[in-house]
Chain A
Amino acid sequence: MAEKQIAGKTIEVTDDGFMVKHEQWDREVAAAIAAEEGIELTDDHWKVLEFIDKDFKEKGAVPGIRRMNKVGGISTKELYTLFPDGPVKKAAKIAGYPKPASCV
């Protein structure tokens, strides 16, 4: 666990840069984390981030690809275009939520 300056704020993050306290998150923080990942946020990115936010508050977990497809209406191809490499992991990081994880 570490503290990091993001968008002029002191933010608690895990060793791999995921936010620990979602209440420290805002749109400027999101844009700064995205920039570190080489992503400039557009409306299409925000559609994904807002879905993750809404869904996490409802279900207590970051939605997986199938849920993004079926419930969020975002295709897998679109996800890979917007957030290359690990789309769920990257989008979760920018949305200020934990890394999708298993039990161990």
Chain B
Amino acid sequence: MSVFYEKSFWNLQNKMKDIVILGAGTAGTIMANRLRKSVDRRSWNIKIIDQNPVHYYQPGFLFMPFGIYSDRDVEKPKRRFIPRDVEYIESSVDRVNAEKSRVMLSNGVEVSYDILIIATGVRTVPDQVEGMMGTDWRNRIFDFYTVDGAAALQEKLKDWRGGRLVMHVSEMPIKCPVAPLEFVFLADSWLSERGLREKTELVYVTPLSGAFTKPIAAGVLGHLLEEKRIKVVNDFNIGNVDNERHRIVSWDDKVVDYDLLVTVPTNMGDAAIERSGLGDEFNFVPTDRHTLQSKQHENIFVIGDATDLPTSKAGSVAHFESEVLGENILSYIKNAPLREEFDGHANCFIESGHGKGFLLDFNYTLEPVPGSFPIPGIGPFGLLKETRINHFGKMAFKWIYWNMLLKGLPLPGITQRMSYAGKKIPVGLAVPESA
């Protein structure tokens, strides 16, 4: 107790203020590292709250079903990436009382804040689809958006001898929207290597109008599905799962039979956001798309998958956002105007199988286009182009993630704002607002 009183006394004397970060995933960890370097430590405490002690390298989940990565590749302790002088609180959150600027932990403790950064991410909620958690769950139905799902699917695939393998997206938006496509491409490759491709029918089921929905990408990549003999079922809004007959049924009574269903369940924001009354219909927090300030409360900021921004939910986005948010927290502390700087920039590799991959670089206004990245005209990566070096980039990213990205270090040659240099922008494409 004496320590508590001494600390409180010290805080009062010095009018210490608190930045509280909810969530120690990609976005929260980067922010803790950035802010501890930039915010005056004589007047600001930084606290980070998370209930799960394990940090997952989520892009690695995709590789687990095919035995390319194991859980060892994707797990490290969260605390290892949090600076020592940031207070780490391992607890679940009951709710945020935004009116009183307090976070109520599940154990009843209250943590007050002057600035709150919400970085609670998204989670998969399979029971949003009727019948999804029925008798086929983890027998014939798997996911790879969780570490245990990806590990269970790896076991299942070891016994795969052929049949109808269906990749399915429940509803949009989802984290890493290209991951289900990458899954079918990698499955095609993996099955071919094992002599099982001829015995397997690969089907891709999406609620959207096609596997590719952006015109330029569709033009460049659309042929891949046909080439790889992947059947696409589009405009499929799932109504329920018929576990007895092993089929998914849409709202308008279309059916798709499966022997193995790999589903991306509904993605939603954290339940604590819902309990706090801070979220939309998916528990995503309404956020200013350029400043990252919450639309409801001026001392709340939002980053990463937890936002409702119309860009991809991806680690690269959290990384780019962190630069803008880092600046804006400093501006907010100084009572200066916030910079309307975030442009929706995302940068994503797409594994296409057989040791090759694509790279996408886009923002709110410019869809993925062909070109070279990050050095215009040189690369080494090719945008919207299938190359071996793109695949190596994706595999090298694991090291970059653990050693650079989480620490908030700049990635060489890659800017927070999307660069228009090196991109072949077709004539007639809507002119970006900030080109």
A89 to B308, CA, bound (A): 20
B172 at the interface (CB under 8 A from A): yes
Q: Which residue of A lies closest to B181 (CB)?
A: A104
Determine whether the beta carbon of A99 is less than 8 Å from that of B213: yes
Interface residue total, chain A, C-beta cutoff 8 A: 28
Determine whether the beta carbon of A104 is less than 8 Å from that of B237: no
A90 to B364, CA, bound (A): 23
Shortest C-beta distance, A37 to chain B (Å), equals 13
A14 to B215, CA, bound (A): 9
A89 to B172, CA, bound (A): 13
Determine whether the beta carbon of B360 is less than 8 Å from that of A104: yes
Q: Which residue of B lies closest to A20 (CB)?
A: B430
A88 to B181, CA, bound (A): 22
Write out the residue numbers on chain A whose beta carbons fall within 8 Å of the beta carbon of B311. 103
- Mostly, the B contact residues are loop
Write out the residue numbers on chain A whose beta carbons fall within 8 Å of the beta carbon of B289. 60
Given contacts A59-B310, A101-B208, A104-B221, contact A67 B281 (CB under 8 A): yes
Given contacts A1-B428, A66-B282, A77-B251, contact A104 B214 (CB under 8 A): yes
Determine whether the beta carbon of A103 is less than 8 Å from that of B235: no
A38 at the interface (CB under 8 A from B): no
Write out the residue numbers on chain A whose beta carbons fall within 8 Å of the beta carbon of B209. 16, 86, 89, 99-100
Q: Which residue of B lies closest to A81 (CB)?
A: B252
Q: 26 A-B Cβ contacts within 8 A? A: A16-B209, A20-B430, A59-B308, A60-B289, A60-B310, A60-B364, A64-B173, A70-B281, A76-B251, A80-B252, A85-B235, A85-B252, A86-B234, A99-B209, A100-B172, A100-B208, A100-B213, A101-B214, A102-B177, A102-B208, A102-B213, A103-B214, A103-B346, A104-B177, A104-B181, A104-B368
Q: A-side interface residues toward B, CB under 8 Å?
A: 1, 14-16, 20, 59-61, 64-67, 69-71, 76-77, 80, 84-86, 89, 99-104
